Amino acid sequence: MAQQSKPTRREFVASVGAVAGASAFAGLTVPPVHAGEDNTIRVALIGCGGRGTGAAANAMSVKNGPVKLVAMADVFEDRLNGSYKNLQQRFSDRMDVPPERRFIGFDAYKKAMDCLRPGDVAIFATPPAFRWVHFRYAIEKGLHVFMEKPISVDGPTSMRMIELGKEAEKRNLKVAVGLMCRHCRVRMELADKIHNGAIGDIVFARAYRVVGPTGSAFVKKNTTGKSDLEYQIRHFHAFLWLSGGAFSDFLIHNLDEACWMKNAWPVEAKGFGGRHYRGEYVDQNFDTYVTEYTFPDGTKLVLYGRCMPGCYNEFATWVHGTKGLARVSTSAHYPAKSRIFAGHVDSEDQVVWRWKGGRKEPNPYQTEWDDLIDAIRNDRPYSEVYRGAMASLMCAVGRYACHTGQKIKVDDYLKLGYEFAPDVDKMDYDTPPPVQPDEEGRYPVPMPGIITDREYLDTKKKVAKG
């Protein structure tokens, strides 16, 4: 991918400081790492929710040599136990996770990774707020990594991940990011054709994830009797500090695949959205988002997001060129059903290209793991951190534009230096969460045009009225 917007080392230092930069690893010699003398790649799962369980299943389904799950970690025992039971029923011959290697707590990630050898693999599927903390430790341990998207939620954590990615590359560590559409064989062929001029010059792109309520983006007041920190982590899509909210977690795939086809990252964003039918829901999300991104050459990408029941649904990405139209995806992430059309109408009689690989497309959730393990076993350079961080950053920029009501350049967003949860690496069960409810149990929400320098007002501050 073209890297026109790639942040510089100076920008990193200015916006983040040296907390997790390359200096943290200064003086360490990193030898090449391999899978181990017995040829079994051992895996630790950190974050045992649905996506983590799915990633572990994909890891153990790779055909290229033995892969075994040997450790699991989560902050909630019920999540870990449910994941273990699910995986044990399906992959008992590839599981070796006795009770003493099932770890609970905010430091459980360390204990799980301590069970691995250099050259083994750690899976990170916790809420994204913890991604840089876990990645930093994996690098120290010499581990390859598969991390779910998004991998950052704001400017400072995006820059931090880029720096950590550079260090991982120096150590010859292979790092995959769960933007699995990049490993879709159909989209890969389509991207190659677009980059070679099949639809001419790209003049416009549009992407949609306009669907019903998704994930844990909708939450009501915490009446569980459990701590607010636990409540927020269990419903992490509802809180910006944990996940970047519905925008970052749900729209990232469509945004990323559009940028892939364009072969560029945006330099500016503007947008809007609002809360319409929240009722008793107290989370920090909008119901609707419309964001216009501008690429370096002036080309526009419009990204549409919506979480409302009873409305017209579309889950697709389209790219318009001077010679025709490309359908990147439709009907969710898989199957892609990609097409190139002679004109700008989605009509089967106008199709000039479709994938000829067979009736059933390979599942990209599996092919992303096939590619990672292949790179490990054949010791090929393999790092998806930069584009994972850039896709996450583009989400943060677009989200900021919608939540503040401001047009914002990517460079200016990075200069803000605002980090939602700078001390997340020190968090334990007794830590107050970075965002807290008011007396009515409601959390601070974005107020476009009123709060314009950050996405929501700190709980203890007041907004001037009038």
Would you list the DSSP string of 9-43? HHHHHHHH-SSSSGGGGTT-------S-TTSPEEE
| Angstrom distance (rounded) from CA 224 to CA 217 | 17
Outline where DSSP puts E strands in 335-458: 339-341, 351-354, 408-409
In terms of domains, do 373 and 413 share one? no
Asked if residue 2 is part of any domain, the answer here is no
| Angstrom distance (rounded) from CA 194 to CA 350 | 17
In terms of domains, do 160 and 253 share one? no
How confident is the model at residue 25, as a pLDDT? 56
Domain of 34?
9-181+367-383
Asked if residue 257 is part of any domain, the answer here is yes
Looking at residues 233-255, what average pLDDT do you find?
97
| Angstrom distance (rounded) from CA 382 to CA 172 | 8
How confident is the model at residue 457, as a pLDDT? 86
The answer to whether residue 463 scores a pLDDT higher than 60 is: no
In terms of domains, do 372 and 258 share one? no
How confident is the model at residue 147, as a pLDDT? 98
In terms of domains, do 137 and 240 share one? no
| Angstrom distance (rounded) from CA 210 to CA 306 | 4
| Angstrom distance (rounded) from CA 116 to CA 42 | 7
Asked if residue 188 is part of any domain, the answer here is no
The SS3 of residue 350 is: helix
**329 CB contacts (<8 Å, ≥6 apart)?**
181, 187, 254, 257, 315, 316, 317, 336, 337, 338
Q: How many domains does the chain have?
A: 2
Burial (CB count <10 Å: 0-12, 13-18, 19+), residue 342: middle
Q: How many angstroms separate the Cα of 36 from the Cα of each of 41, 129, 144, 370, 449?
A: 7, 31, 12, 18, 56
Q: Let me know the angle formed at the C-alpha of 454 by 425 and 152, rounded to the nearest 5 degrees.
A: 40
Q: Which residue has the tokens 């980090």?
A: 419
| Angstrom distance (rounded) from CA 105 to CA 84 | 16
Q: Average pLDDT over the chain, rounded to whole?
A: 91
Q: What is the pLDDT of residues 311-334, one digit of tens each?
A: 999 999 999 999 999 999 998 899
How confident is the model at residue 459, as a pLDDT? 56
The answer to whether residue 171 scores a pLDDT higher than 50 is: yes
How confident is the model at residue 373, as a pLDDT? 98
In terms of domains, do 359 and 218 share one? yes
Q: Of the residues 355, 383, 411, which one is the last residue of a structural domain? A: 383
Residue 410 banded pLDDT, cuts 50, 70, 90: very high
Looking at residues 96-115, what average pLDDT do you find?
98
Residue 37 banded pLDDT, cuts 50, 70, 90: low
Q: What is the pLDDT of residues 151-161, one digit of tens each?
A: 999 999 999 99
Asked if residue 187 is part of any domain, the answer here is no
Q: Of the residues 319, 353, 383, which one is the last residue of a structural domain? A: 383
Length of the chain: 466
- % of the chain at pLDDT higher than 70: 90
- CATH number, position 316: 3.30.360.10
- CATH number, position 139: 3.40.50.720
Asked if residue 177 is part of any domain, the answer here is yes
Give this prediction's pTM: 0.92
In terms of domains, do 124 and 214 share one? no
In terms of domains, do 212 and 108 share one? no
Residue 230 banded pLDDT, cuts 50, 70, 90: very high
Asked if residue 403 is part of any domain, the answer here is yes
Residue 262 CA to its chain's centroid (Å) = 20
Q: Which DSSP category does 290 fall into?
A: E
**Residue 69: count of CB within 10 angstroms of its CB:** 24
In terms of domains, do 377 and 332 share one? no
How confident is the model at residue 277, as a pLDDT? 80
Q: What is the pLDDT of residues 266-285, one digit of tens each?
A: 999 999 999 988 889 999 99
In terms of domains, do 221 and 331 share one? yes
In terms of domains, do 202 and 341 share one? yes
Looking at residues 292-301, what average pLDDT do you find?
98
The answer to whether residue 14 scores a pLDDT higher than 50 is: no
Sheet holding 175-177, edge to edge: 102-104, 67-74, 41-46, 121-124, 144-147, 175-177
The token pair at 367 is: 């092919």
In terms of domains, do 225 and 313 share one? yes
- Is the separation of the CB atoms in 272 and 398 below 8 Å? no
How confident is the model at residue 203, as a pLDDT? 97
Asked if residue 324 is part of any domain, the answer here is yes
In terms of domains, do 260 and 126 share one? no
**Residue 170: count of CB within 10 angstroms of its CB:** 13
Asked if residue 388 is part of any domain, the answer here is yes
| Angstrom distance (rounded) from CA 287 to CA 273 | 7
